[in-house]
A and B are shown apart, each in its own frame.
Chain A
Amino acid sequence: MKIGVFICHCGNNISATVDVEQVAQHALTLPGVVCAHTIPHACSEPGQQLIKKNIQEKGLNRIVIGACSPRVHEATFKRVLAQAGLNPYLLEFANLREQCSWVHEDRQLATGKAIDLIDMAVNKAARLEPLTSSKVDVNKRTLVIGGGIAGIQAALDIADSGHEVALVEKTPTIGGNMARMDKVFPTLDCSACILTPKMVEVASHPNVTLYTYSEVEQVSGFVGNFKVKIRKKARLVDMEKCTGCGSCTLKCPVKAPSEFNMGLDNRGAIYIPFPQAVPHIPVIDKTVCSYILKKKCGLCQKICPTGAIAFEQQDELTEEEFGAIIVATGYELMDWTVYGEYGYGKYKDVITSMQYERILSSSGPTGGHIKRLSDGREPEVVAIIACVGSRDAARGRPYCSSVCCMYSAKYAMLTREHLPNAQVYIFYMDIRACSKMYEEFVQRAQEKYGANYVRGRVSKIFERNGRMVLQGADTLLGQSVELEADLVVLAVGITGTQSTIELAKKLNISHDEYGFLTENHPKLRPVESSTAGIFIAGACQSPKDIPLSVAQASSAASKVLGLISHDKLETSPLVAEVTILKCVGCFRCLSVCPFSAIEEQVLRDGTKVAQVNPALCQGCGLCSATCPPAAIALRGFTDDQLISQMESLCQLNPEL
């Protein structure tokens, strides 16, 4: 046994609190240790060279690194071992930074603790075994979940590179929230004009299979080899026969609020969400259709020239295999009706930002004319309130929506273009306009379009003589203000969705309390989820605007392409292993395994024992800790290795 110990200064991150030389001196006294060095930056090129040189010259066969968290640099040093011709799993890491120098102040005590940690690591290192990973094939197909701008962009990027993509969208059309918007900042180009060509392109791309009105039902497998069940919900319209003529939608006598127009007008029970919908094929809403509910009507069936109405259609389940998954499920507006001071949603002329998008849009319910919903009158004063449901910890929304400063300025411009005589007031907290051309955009709203910016929150909205009265504070003047407006637009904050939370459970990826998916590392792994092979893009990760969503989608696509450019993937050898002779077949391991990696194995004599599927096992160790006869060991963390660490700790500190 030839153990080499390397203690990192980490600049002075570690050495300022821990006497690294003393730790190295102590390491030299431990059995099996043939050399101990301190290195200013072990992860740097000279640091890595020093380790390699020692391995080769002194014939080291176990390496202990005392440095930062293994989350940061374990992979780096494994590579160093491999490059020096050593099995990379003969490395043991002692975290002297996050778990020692950064959290202690007393140099003497911290040095003592660092010595303990190195002692434990050396003791474990002596018991490490070389491990080898196995290889699995990589499926080259990718699943993209969510057909908004992020999903479309990711699907197109991958498809254009020559790989197959399935794009799954739960609503009847792709396009997402962006399809609802009128003009988009900072260039005020028409949202539909830049989005619809992409919708058509993705739908007609030879490498893309489009599943609209479909949902992911079940996901199993692992990176490179996911098995996904997709539920194709019954449209009750035969997509092969339908020509999209829309006659049925004109004749349907049922009225239900239009989801696409945010409830501002009605659609039929059979409807095409909007004129540029892709696919341009209607869907029947089973919850309101008279024929489905009462077996009456059936007008659409009578009128359809191609006989495409299929009331008997059932949901279909299809199972497909993918190598990688991108989640791009987008966002919703938070439920602003918790704001009692704004009337709990009882005033018709207090509307949401997304409703205002539909009002401004020439394809919207008012044909692009700005009108009050109460009496159809053109407003003379439009008030926009920013940060409704954003930066409001009292309402459980402490984060910034990241877009409402910008679209509030946009509303000011568009309102003045539609109604040059109207006055626009924007109540804001701070202006956050920090991307390219954003600050200039806000300046333009103020200077060229004469938007009146009032800094302060609105504390109450009520109706007086047919107008909406806003009371609040102007914190720059230090005065209370009261404004009479005809139309109030609430810039409502952005939230993750319940359906994304449910999807995250199926995918076994993590999310935060607001329903946003959690990235693997906020800076360095921003589009990777917590599970290998699953990536995240767009506003399902955090509130973001179109440019950022598109950039993130392309980033996720490039990560997928990197993954599927390999024909085979190495699996981690740090998995659980069953000693068949010890297993009593109680299968407690099977019930605790979160990854369904434990299987039943029937031996020749008919006895049943547990068996680990190494491709599914993530090495969490739950089975090992649960197993009553200790028949399951986790490679790299065996009982023998862990007990040796505890023993060394107890010997050093007899009082333990």
Chain B
Amino acid sequence: MTKLGYFPGCSLEGSASEYDQSSRYVCKQLDIELVELPDWSCCGAHAAHHTQHKLACALSARNLSIATKQGVDSVVAPCPACYSGLKSAQNQLANNPGLTEKLKSELDLDCNAKGEVFSLVELLSHIEPETLKAQVKVDLGGLKVAAYYGCLLVRPPKLVQFDDPENPTSIDNLLSAAGVQMLPWDYKVQCCGAVLGISNPDIQLKLSGDILKMAQLAGAQAVAVACPLCHANLDLRQEQINKYCKSNFNLPIIYFTQLMGLAFGASPKGLGIDKHMVNVGPLLSKVGIR
């Protein structure tokens, strides 16, 4: 049994609770014990690091210190933004010797961040494909899926040092092991528009629309994602995209953990698949899942 600190982050407590459900389920099946960090705080998200770098760093440093206090060396964060924040803070603490003292003297914050920071994709990528295949109970071979990684999961390359920043394959490998047909395509790391969905929706709708168009051209029946914001932009706003782009997309957007969970035999409801705006039901019934 591997034991890790689990940092769900705010999205996974709210709009992306199904990502939380499915992540916990998959980890449990794979014998990974997730210890949720007690009293964890927001990672600061976009707002913190855009206003003050030290604040963003301090928020994540505090969360990492909690993990050390709990006796778990490493922390896993499913949300790429949380992951990026934690990873960046860990990097700054390791490479900036004065920072720990500064946070102590200015904020009275004891930083003791020892362990590694993983994204969930990275953590699961360490598992042998054979171990994953051994868990598969439901055949998803009829599903053609495009894996969409978004911008933060494998970037910036010097910081994350995981997978290929231009043509990543880790989610493809995980889902292939789970029996899904993964499609090669060229929009794996194109930006979905991120938070511009709020401040400048025209840009986000165009960018997200381009992603859906490329996935459809590649022959995808669904898009697998690993980021709550990507999910919201592609799923929640798919109707707005259709209006803006004069398109007719009806493309289910599914968390990669949900697809793994389905392959491992969990019920769609238990994985929160019914929470998506684009109905996944008709697609699942094609492969015999109800």
Task: Give the interface segment out of B46-54, B159-167, B246-254.
Answer: B159-167
| Docked-complex contact B166 and A341, CB < 8 angstroms | yes
Which of A344, A463, A464, A465 is close to B167, meaning CB atoms less than 8 Å apart?
Answer: A344
Q: Which residue of B165, B166, B217 contacts A464 across the interface (Cβ within 8 Å)?
A: B217
Q: How far is the CB of A12 from chain B (nearest CB, A)?
A: 43
**Complex-state Cα separation, A464 to B215, whole angstroms:** 11
Flag A326-350 by CB within 8 Å of B: 1 or 0 each: 0000000000000011001000000
Residues of A near B166 (CB, < 8 A) are 340-341, 344
Chain A residues with CB under 8 Å of B255's CB are none
Q: How far does the Cβ of B79 sit from chain A's closest Cβ, in whole Å?
A: 25
B83 to chain A, nearest CB (A): 21
Q: A462-B186, A462-B187, A463-B186 are in contact. Are A340 and B217 (CB under 8 A)?
A: no
Which residue of chain B has its CB nearest to the CB of A346?
B167
**Set A340, A463, A465: member contacting B165, Cβ < 8 A:** A340
CA distance A341 to B167 in the complex (A): 8
Chain B neighbourhood of A463, CB < 8 A: 186
Smallest CB separation, B206 vs chain A (Å): 10
For B156-189 the 0/1 string (1 means CB < 8 A from A) is 0000000011110000000000000000001100
B138 at interface, CB cutoff 8 A: no
- Nearest B residue to A347, CB-CB: B186
Q: Quick check: is B284 within 8 A (CB to CB) of the other chain?
A: no
C-alpha gap A463/B186 in the complex (Å): 7
Per the bound structure, the CA–CA distance linking A315 and B167 in Å amounts to 45
Looking across the interface, which residue of chain A has its beta carbon closest to that of B184? A346
Q: From residue 339 to 384 of chain A, which have CB atoms closer than 8 A to chain B?
A: 340-341, 344
Q: For the complex, is B214 an interface residue (Cβ under 8 Å from A)?
A: yes
CB distance from A226 to the nearest CB of B (A): 46
Q: Determine the distance from Cα of A597 to Cα of B188 in the docked complex, in whole angstroms.
A: 61
Q: In the complex, what residue of chain B is closest to A340 when comparing beta carbons?
A: B166
How long is the Cα–Cα vector from A403 to B166 in the complex, in angstroms?
Answer: 28
User: Complex formed: what's the CA distance from A83 to B180 in Å?
Assistant: 89
Instruction: Let me know if B164 and A464 touch, CB within 8 A.
Output: no
Asked if residues A340 and B186 are in contact (CB atoms below 8 Å), the reply is no
Asked if B214 and A340 make an inter-chain contact with CB atoms under 8 angstroms apart, the answer reads no
Cα A341 to Cα B187 with chains together (Å): 11
| Cβ of B109 to closest chain A Cβ, rounded Å | 34
Alpha-carbon gap, A340 to B167, bound state (A): 7
Smallest CB separation, A468 vs chain B (Å): 10
A205 to B290 alpha-carbon distance, docked (Å): 85
- How far, in whole Å, are A341 and B164 apart by their CA atoms in the complex? 11
What's the nearest-Cβ distance from chain A to residue B113, in Å? 29
CB-CB under 8 A for A465 and B186, given A341-B166, A344-B166, A344-B167:
no
Proximity string of chain A (71-96) to chain B, C-beta cutoff 8 Å, 1 when within and 0 when not: 00000000000000000000000000
- CB nearest to B203 among chain A residues: A480
Within 8 A of A (CB), among B184-232: 186-187, 190, 214, 217
Residue of A nearest to B164 (CB): A340
Complex CA–CA separation, A464 to B214 (angstroms) = 8
Among residues 222 to 267 in chain B, which have CB atoms less than 8 Å away from a CB atom of chain A? none
Chain B residues positioned under 8 Å from A460 (CB to CB): 186, 190
Known: A340-B164, A344-B166. A465 touches B217 (CB 8 A): yes
Please report the C-alpha to C-alpha distance between residue A465 and residue B166 in the assembled complex, in whole angstroms.
21
* Bound-complex Cα distance A464 to B185 (A): 10
The docked-state distance in angstroms from the alpha carbon of A460 to that of B167 is 12
Closest chain-A Cβ to B245's Cβ sits at a distance in Å of: 14
Across the interface, name the chain A residue whose C-beta is closest to B186: A462
Chain B residue with minimal CB distance to A463?
Answer: B186
**Chain B, residue nearest A462 (CB):** B186
Task: Give the residues in chain B near A340, CB-CB below 8 Å.
Answer: 164-167
Closest to B214 in A: A464
Docked CA distance A622–B251 (Å): 73
- Whole-angstrom distance between the Cβ of B217 and the nearest chain A Cβ: 7
Query: Which residues in A have their C-beta under 8 angstroms from that of B217?
Result: 464-465
Interchain nearest-CB distance for B190 vs A (Å): 8
Q: Which residue of B has the minimal Cβ distance to A461? A: B186
Which residues of A sit under 8 angstroms from B187, Cβ to Cβ?
A: 462
* A446-501 interface with B by 8 A CB criterion: 460, 462-465
Closest A residue, CB atoms, query B190: A460
Q: CB-nearest residue of chain B relative to A482? A: B210
Which B residues touch A464, using CB under 8 A?
186, 214, 217
- Chain A neighbourhood of B190, CB < 8 A: 460
Cβ contacts under 8 Å, A344 to chain B = 166-167
**Complex CA distance for A413 and B68, rounded to whole angstroms:** 65
- Complex Cα–Cα for A460 and B191 (A): 12
Distance A535 CA – B170 CA, assembled complex (angstroms): 51
A344 to B165, CA, bound (A): 12
A119 to B31, CA, bound (A): 78
Contact mask for chain B residues 131-174; partner A; CB cutoff 8 A; 1 contact, 0 none: 00000000000000000000000000000000011110000000
Chain A 289-348 interface residues, beta-carbon cutoff 8 Å to B:
340-341, 344
Give complex CA distance A299, B167 in Å. Answer: 45
A340 to B163, CA, bound (A): 12
Residue on A nearest B185 in the bound complex, by CB? A462
Contact bitstring B51-80, A, C-beta under 8 A = 1, else 0: 000000000000000000000000000000
In whole angstroms, how far apart are the Cα atoms of A595 and B190 in the complex? 56
What is the distance, in angstroms, from A473's C-beta to the closest C-beta of chain B?
14
Question: Complex: how many Å from CA A463 to CA B217?
Answer: 11
Q: For the complex, what is the distance from the CA of A227 to the CA of B247, rounded to whole Å? A: 75
Shortest CB distance A463–B (Å): 7
Roughly how many angstroms separate A460 CA and B165 CA in the complex, as a whole number? Answer: 12
| B contact residues around A465 at 8 Å (CB) | 217
Instruction: Tell me the complex Cα distance, A548–B165, Å.
Output: 39
Bound complex: CA A341 to CA B155 (Å): 13
How many whole Å from A174's CB to the nearest CB in chain B?
Answer: 39
Q: Would you give the shortest CB distance from B210 to chain A, in whole angstroms?
A: 9
Question: Please, how many angstroms separate the alpha-carbon atoms of A505 and B60 in the complex?
Answer: 50
B156 to chain A, nearest CB (A): 11
CA distance A432 to B167 in the complex (A): 33
Q: Which residues of A contact B (CB under 8 A)?
A: 340-341, 344, 460, 462-465
Known pairs A344-B166, A464-B186, A464-B217. 14 more at Cβ < 8 A?
A: A340-B164, A340-B165, A340-B166, A340-B167, A341-B166, A344-B167, A460-B186, A460-B190, A462-B186, A462-B187, A462-B214, A463-B186, A464-B214, A465-B217
Can you list the 5 inter-chain pairs with the closest CB atoms, starting with the nearest?
Answer: A340-B166, A462-B186, A341-B166, A340-B167, A340-B164
Q: List 17 A-B contacts (CB under 8 A).
A: A340-B164, A340-B165, A340-B166, A340-B167, A341-B166, A344-B166, A344-B167, A460-B186, A460-B190, A462-B186, A462-B187, A462-B214, A463-B186, A464-B186, A464-B214, A464-B217, A465-B217
